Amino acid sequence: MDNTTIKKLLESVQSGRASVEHALNQLKHLPFEDLSFAKIDHHRHMRQGIPEVIFAEGKKVQDVVRIARSMYRSSKRVLITKASKSIYTKLKMKNAVFHPLSRTIAVQGAKEQNGHILILSAGTSDIPVAEEAAVTASFLGSRAETVYDVGVAGIHRLMEAKDSLHSARVIIVVAGMEGALPSVVGGITDKPIIAVPTSVGYGTSFGGLTALLAMLNSCVPGIAVMNIDNGFGAGCLAHKINTLSPA
């Protein structure tokens, strides 16, 4: 249930179509519903601009399904990350879409796609994280474009994506190994850049730590850095920036 829904409720009170008691009831029941093992926060969208999302990793399939249904009843939309095929199968919601590459399930994402978020990946192994960012941004209501495998060892490939770099409002750069791509992209554009390190690499890549450190130390000022493999977070931030109302 987002701001629009609440606004409509209040307007119907104003116009007399709904009684104050009814509205109060609707609102009161909102805060969170106690499923005993998880307090679902139905107000989050209103407060944080991001609806409650289920991080499925490490949770039991039936628990994920139960939380997802409660969430759907209240807000009519659900996003599940790090999901498995079996969750999708058990979920049995006709609007649910399973994205296998990013292991994401989106139920009733936003209809309209606003602005333009560009998502770049350095290598092919970084694609799952990049896809998670793309699905998330799209679910929230932003138009997401992806260009993959444009890493720093073949920098001329990046140049082919110049038009996309120009038209995008926010750019997400996903890279593992030495994590140099955000710096290179940052050197040729003035758009806000969100860097996502991935756990791609071996030896001293330390599961993405090297890429993370490189991004934090970029010589390009003002790059926003996310946790390792956190495509979801990048999608959220990019959407917030993309849809910020004019000053």
Site residues for a second copy, 176-205, by CB under 8 A, read 177-180, 183-184, 186-192, 194, 197, 199-205
Please state the closest distance from residue 201 (CB atom) to a second copy, in A: 5
List the interface residues with a second copy, window 144-163 (CB under 8 A): 148-157
Token pair in block for residue 69: 């249904």
Query: Is residue 228 close enough to count as binding a second copy by CB under 8 A?
Result: yes
Interface with a second copy, residue 246, by CB under 8 A? yes
Smaller CB separation from a second copy, 12 or 26? 26
17 vs 235, which CB is nearer to a second copy?
235
Can you list the alpha helix ranges (DSSP code H) found in 92-227? 127-140, 156-159, 162-167, 181-186, 209-216
* Closer residue to a second copy in complex, CB, 18/143: 143
Determine the size of the site formed for a second copy (CB under 8 A).
97
Q: CB 16 → a second copy: shortest distance, Å? A: 29
Site for a second copy in 29-48 (CB under 8 A): 31-32, 37-39, 41, 44, 46-48
**Dist. CA 162–CA 180, nearest whole Å:** 18
Decide whether 11 or 160 has the Cβ nearer to a second copy.
160
User: Which stretch in 4-12, 14-22, 87-95, 234-242 sits in contact with a second copy by CB under 8 A?
Assistant: 234-242
Task: Report the nearest approach of a second copy to the CB of residue 78 (Å).
Answer: 15
d(CA 179, CA 189): 18
The Cα–Cα gap between 60 and 208 comes to: 27
* Angle of CA points 114, 111, 232, to nearest 5°: 70
According to DSSP, residue 97 is labeled E
Contact status: 222 vs a second copy (CB under 8 A): yes
Q: Does 127 bind a second copy (CB under 8 A)?
A: yes
d(CA 189, CA 141): 24
Backbone angles phi, psi at 50, to 5 degrees: -125, 125
Least distance CB 27 / a second copy (angstroms): 13
State in angstroms the smallest separation of the CB of 106 from a second copy: 15
Burial 82-99 (b: 16+ CB within 10 A, else e): bbbeebbeebeeeebebb
Show contacts with a second copy in window 59-118 (CB under 8 A).
59, 63, 114-116
β-strand 96-99 against 104-107: which pairing, if any? Answer: antiparallel
**Is 221 an interacting residue with respect to a second copy (CB under 8 A)?**
yes
- Within 8 A by CB and 6+ apart from 60, the residues are none
Only segment of 4-12, 13-21, 89-97, 213-221 that touches a second copy (CB under 8 A): 213-221
CA distance 44 to 67: 15
Match 């990350």 to its residue by tokens. Answer: 81
